[in-house]
Structure 1
Amino acid sequence: MRYILDTNLFTRTVKYLKLGLLFSLFVWTFNSVASAQSPEELKAAREAYYAAVQNYEDGNYDEAAAQLKRATKLRRATDAFFLALEAKILVAQKRYAEAEAIQEKFSNYDASEAQRADVSKLTKIIEKGRIDAERQRQARLEKARKDASYAYSRGYKAAKNGNYSLAAREYQNACDGGYAGGCNNLGIFYEKGRGVQKSLQRAFKLYEKACKSQNVYGCSNLASMYRSGKGVSRDYARAKRLYRKSCDGGKIDSCLEVGFMYEGSKETSQAIAVFSQACDAEEGLACHKIGKFYMIGRGVAPDFKRAESFFKRACMISGKSFGCGYLKSIRNLVSLSNGCEAGTASQCTELAKRYTGVGIARTGPDHKKAIPLFEKGCNGADAEACYELGEYYKNGRGVSKDDLKASKYYDLGCEGRNAKACANLGYMYAVGTGVTQNKKQAAKLYDLGCSYGSAWGCNNLGNYYANGDVVQQDYSRAAELYEKGCNDDFLRACNRLGYYYEKGQGVTQDYAQAAKYYEKGCERHGYGCTNLGVLYYNGNGIAQDYTQAAKYYEKGCTKGNTRGCANLGYLYQIGRGVTQDYELAAKYYEQGCEGGRAVGCNNLGLLYAVGTGVTQDHLQASLLYDQACEAGLARGCSNLGNNYLKGRGVAKDYSRAVSLYKKACEGGYEPACKTLNKSN
């Protein structure tokens, strides 16, 4: 196929060649044929290309770009001519980055030297244009930042004056202008419903936007939402990451928050790292926390001297709010540690004791640290350390329970005149735990323990003398030992001594003294309370006072003495010392009965028999009488006999009734004897 160029086309071609826009129509024609273009498409492509050139020359750059795009589409290909023109158009449009990309593409095509020189001239224009464009962009950003900053300031001022609606609008403007603080503060408004309708979802989005712009407050608030699960699914891991980001950005409160979270999840090394950041930023609480880590050896080796330095710093920073209270304790620990390392056994023991009970940092006992120190103390002949090791093995605390080892450590402690070690070893001999049972040896050890100051040892030896067990029965000696135990605040001994004074056993009968010792015993044991209540009820040694009797019966009942419950039930039944109340009487009788007090069962049965305070129920009454009778209360047997005789709640059974009357009579209940005589 042949194509003939017309004169006008030739003239325009020459013009463009002079302008440096070389164009090979023969090559183009060849390419068109190779691409199977129709003559119409080729002609249209040429026309579009020339239109692009003309528009470029005339300064119509957008139209030039559109025509060049059309020519490329019609031709279905591009080459150095097209790319050179495209680069020039893009430069003219100030689209420098795109022009630079076309330059790079142009270098991969065949082009004449003249074309290459022409296109290379664009490089400096592009570079200068990019610099100018960036300068203008920065200027626009700076203006936007200033505008956003002014909006934030106006919002802050409005919020301070209580105009939250205006503040919200200004914060929105600040946020839209790229000021992250505006996003964060607007998030707070949405979270709290201040000046806007409350929306946790909107708050979340704003905090997220602020955080992405490196606003540490936004990150912290976003972390708080993830931690609490407020407005978003709870996610502790993400909360920790966000708090850590905020911390690393300089928000010290976030360092504390994530530190506490790391501590709670036992990521101690991480906790120490962020607390250290906060401590370096003069946050006293953080210094205090690190001091505690070194004090108790959590996540780090125990180091009392380093702990002291952190507590001291915390105290100086916080003005006595943190750290100061620990300084005296830690200095004492430093002294004990130094003494133990120097070989002073008692110092090892004292240091070990700091790890027991509430523990060194009031976080609970740490037996793993205490036991090696007690062992060091015991090996150095400190009797208290040996006793403590005996306790560990006896109770299986921090070690496997081992009664034999316990007895050996108690023995070592007793040899060192430790009172509790002797008494505990005595008990092991008394019951045969860890050693062969030997009550005589137990008595000797109780005696040693008592002489060294063990109130429990005195009490237990007193029991031996009271019962004539192993030693000759001697109430006077028992009373002496109980008194010694009571004076050393072993309150069971007080109860027993009170009983001796009430009964005149081993001492001259003295109700006032009995009341004194019962009252002391009542501090811990219901037995003493109930017995003191009996003295008030009877007026023995003290003025009769039913109100006081009721008070002490109630104390005794509350502390587990069921005799006190039964006695209190009786006072409520008869209305003596308390307002009469049959329901309360039934309640306390029931408590006494359940605790094995036969009189409680019997008296509750009487209430069921007549339906006072409870629904009348003869069968239930019979069951309670039977319970009282089985527990040895003669009246209970007699009352059950009455029911069998009359067929109340049970089938009539004369022989069963007689048998019960006989049992009651033999138990000393006189009315049953009379009834039995009548039946004969």
Structure 2
Amino acid sequence: MNIQIIEKVVDVFNHYGDVLRFQIERFEEVLNDAAFDMMDECYLVVLGMKLGVFEAMIFDEDFEISRYVTYLCEYASLKEEEALFMVSVYSQIIETIGYYFEIPDVEQFLKNAYQHNQFSHLYVLARTYFLGFGVTQDYEKAFEIFSYLYQQGVLESCYYIGYMYEHGYGIEQDILQAFHYYQTNVDSQSALRLGLFYMYGYYVEVDEEKAMYYFLQSQEKEAYLYQGLLLESQKDYSAAFQAYLKGAKSFQKECLYKVGMLLKRGIGVELNLNEALHYFTYGYYLLQEDCTYELSMLSFDGVVVKKDEKQALEYLHQAARLKSYDACLLLSQFYEWGRYVQKNHQYALSYYQQAQVIKEEKENQYEII
């Protein structure tokens, strides 16, 4: 299945208006015309709209991809691959279009919640302002409400207060205060942040043992990625694979890539190119650039999939658009040599420059996210 269907759907909405999603039969007709060479993808996009999945995701404040995939597999009898593709496509379309809706009378709702000390309502409203979900995003107001809740003993506020202190959202940046709040209530999210602090020495000394301790307390899917990175740096590849695998099962896209690469190389696990292809494909659906590059290489090699240079080039160009350093560098060489493509020095230079920009961004990127 081809992730280019995302562009087709966005183009259709831009041309006909977003209200077309409420006219399912008309939308299906228009999309089939626009993406006539992607009938399977069109079918899944339309099916999900008929099932109400697209609308549900628009209004889902706590979107979690695995929840939707499980639902579609159990109640719509979709294969996991089909469900993941559908949900990922919708997620990217929603992010691209930027749906916005307003919660009516939110200020009155907030006033009443304060007056009656309805802490659960205040917590929901604080998160609403923090996320910008149904209201204009307002970190200062979110900080104000979370701080009030903290003073009232609602410790679930600690993560959000810490996060805003850490990044200077709604309050002047203060890393020590962030660290204090994360430690005050070590829930799943705070544990992930503390693990990252110790892993990368972010205003504390690097301590891999403490980092792992906190990652193991977190149920966030990203925690599995950092567990794997720590274990891999310690050359415990078997344990690293198992950590990455847990993240991959939750569709954490970097974990999907890591699992695929270890399977491809037979490091920490028995070499299995068919399984590697499976994880690279899932990562591709989630727009993971290196997974897309690996699919290109497999299509060029023709080992576990049919050798298909046209498909390989399509993956390679998609990987470059997703900012894969390796893809940009290889395309630069292809256009320089005239291999698989017509020789074009201007394209060669452009892809080489893109590769260097990506390399610099990765070198300068601070790994705390």
Give the shorter-chain TM-score range: 0.5 to 0.7
Give me the whole-angstrom Cα distance separating, in 2, the residues matched to 1:666 and 1:471. Answer: 32
**Are residues 485 and 407 of structure 1, via their aligned partners in 2, closer, same or farther at CA, if it must alter by over 3 Å?**
farther
Alignment-derived partner of residue 168 in structure 2: 468
**Aligned partners of 1:583 and 1:613 also within 8 Å:** yes
1:597 aligns to 2:288 (yes or no): yes
TM-score by length of 1: 0.35
Out of 532, 546, 566, the residue aligned to residue 227 of structure 2 is 532
Q: Which amino acid aligns with 1:531?
A: Y
Alignment-derived partner of residue 624 in structure 1: 315
1:643 aligns to 2:334 (yes or no): yes
Alignment-derived partner of residue 184 in structure 2: 484
**Aligned partners of 2:328 and 2:355 also within 8 Å:** yes
Out of 419, 422, 438, the residue aligned to residue 122 of structure 2 is 422
Gap runs ≥5 in structure 2 = 1-101, 361-369
**Aligned partners of 2:336 and 2:348 also within 8 Å:** yes
Alignment-derived partner of residue 198 in structure 2: 501
**Aligned partners of 1:602 and 1:624 also within 8 Å:** yes
Question: Displacement of 1:666 after TM fit?
Answer: 3.8
1:512 aligns to 2:209 (yes or no): yes
Give me the whole-angstrom Cα distance separating, in 2, the residues matched to 1:442 and 1:503. Answer: 28
Out of 616, 631, 656, the residue aligned to residue 347 of structure 2 is 656
Question: Displacement of 1:610 after TM fit?
Answer: 1.9
Give me the whole-angstrom Cα distance separating, in 2, the residues matched to 1:603 and 1:456. Answer: 41
**Aligned partners of 1:618 and 1:648 also within 8 Å:** no
Alignment-derived partner of residue 665 in structure 1: 356
Alignment-derived partner of residue 140 in structure 2: 440
Matches within 5 A, 1:32-51: none
Give me the whole-angstrom Cα distance separating, in 2, the residues matched to 1:423 and 1:632. Answer: 38
Q: Which amino acid aligns with 1:426?
A: A
Give me the whole-angstrom Cα distance separating, in 2, the residues matched to 1:434 and 1:611. Answer: 48
Question: Displacement of 1:643 after TM fit?
Answer: 2.7
Give me the whole-angstrom Cα distance separating, in 2, the residues matched to 1:428 and 1:632. Answer: 32
SS of the equivalent of 1:657 reads helix
Alignment-derived partner of residue 561 in structure 1: 252
Q: Which amino acid aligns with 2:207?
A: D
1:309-353 CA-partner distances (Å, limit 9, x unpaired): xxxxxxxxxxxxxxxxxxxxxxxxxxxxxxxxxxxxxxxxxxxxx
**Are residues 442 and 657 of structure 1, via their aligned partners in 2, closer, same or farther at CA, if it must alter by over 3 Å?**
same
Q: Which amino acid aligns with 1:547?
A: S
Question: Displacement of 1:483 after TM fit?
Answer: 2.7
**Are residues 602 and 433 of structure 1, via their aligned partners in 2, closer, same or farther at CA, if it must alter by over 3 Å?**
closer
**Are residues 519 and 412 of structure 1, via their aligned partners in 2, closer, same or farther at CA, if it must alter by over 3 Å?**
same
**Aligned partners of 2:301 and 2:307 also within 8 Å:** yes
**Aligned partners of 1:622 and 1:643 also within 8 Å:** no
**Are residues 665 and 437 of structure 1, via their aligned partners in 2, closer, same or farther at CA, if it must alter by over 3 Å?**
closer
Question: Displacement of 1:632 after TM fit?
Answer: 2.1
**Are residues 551 and 429 of structure 1, via their aligned partners in 2, closer, same or farther at CA, if it must alter by over 3 Å?**
closer
**Aligned partners of 1:422 and 1:448 also within 8 Å:** no
- Higher-Rg structure is 1
Matches within 5 A, 1:359-398: none
Give me the whole-angstrom Cα distance separating, in 1, the residues matched to 2:179 and 2:268. Answer: 33
Alignment-derived partner of residue 458 in structure 1: 158
**Aligned partners of 1:458 and 1:482 also within 8 Å:** yes
SS of the equivalent of 1:469 reads coil
Question: Displacement of 1:648 after TM fit?
Answer: 4.1
1:551 aligns to 2:229 (yes or no): no
Alignment-derived partner of residue 124 in structure 1: none
**Aligned partners of 2:245 and 2:256 also within 8 Å:** yes
Alignment-derived partner of residue 15 in structure 1: none
* Identity over aligned pairs, percent: 24
**Are residues 436 and 561 of structure 1, via their aligned partners in 2, closer, same or farther at CA, if it must alter by over 3 Å?**
closer
Give me the whole-angstrom Cα distance separating, in 2, the residues matched to 1:652 and 1:535. Answer: 43
Aligned residues: 260
Give me the whole-angstrom Cα distance separating, in 2, the residues matched to 1:618 and 1:561. Answer: 29
Give me the whole-angstrom Cα distance separating, in 1, the residues matched to 2:211 and 2:272. Answer: 31
Q: Which amino acid aligns with 2:167?
A: N
**Aligned partners of 1:518 and 1:531 also within 8 Å:** yes
**Are residues 633 and 414 of structure 1, via their aligned partners in 2, closer, same or farther at CA, if it must alter by over 3 Å?**
same
Question: Displacement of 1:661 after TM fit?
Answer: 1.9
Matches within 5 A, 1:301-450: 403-404=103-104, 408=108, 411-415=111-115, 417=117, 419-430=119-130, 438-450=138-150
Give me the whole-angstrom Cα distance separating, in 1, the residues matched to 2:318 and 2:309. Answer: 14
Give me the whole-angstrom Cα distance separating, in 1, the residues matched to 2:328 and 2:339. Answer: 14
Give me the whole-angstrom Cα distance separating, in 1, the residues matched to 2:254 and 2:126. Answer: 32
Give me the whole-angstrom Cα distance separating, in 2, the residues matched to 1:459 and 1:410. Answer: 21
**Aligned partners of 1:426 and 1:442 also within 8 Å:** yes
Gap runs ≥5 in structure 1 = 1-401, 670-680
Alignment-derived partner of residue 302 in structure 1: none
1:99-138 CA-partner distances (Å, limit 9, x unpaired): xxxxxxxxxxxxxxxxxxxxxxxxxxxxxxxxxxxxxxxx
**Are residues 648 and 433 of structure 1, via their aligned partners in 2, closer, same or farther at CA, if it must alter by over 3 Å?**
closer
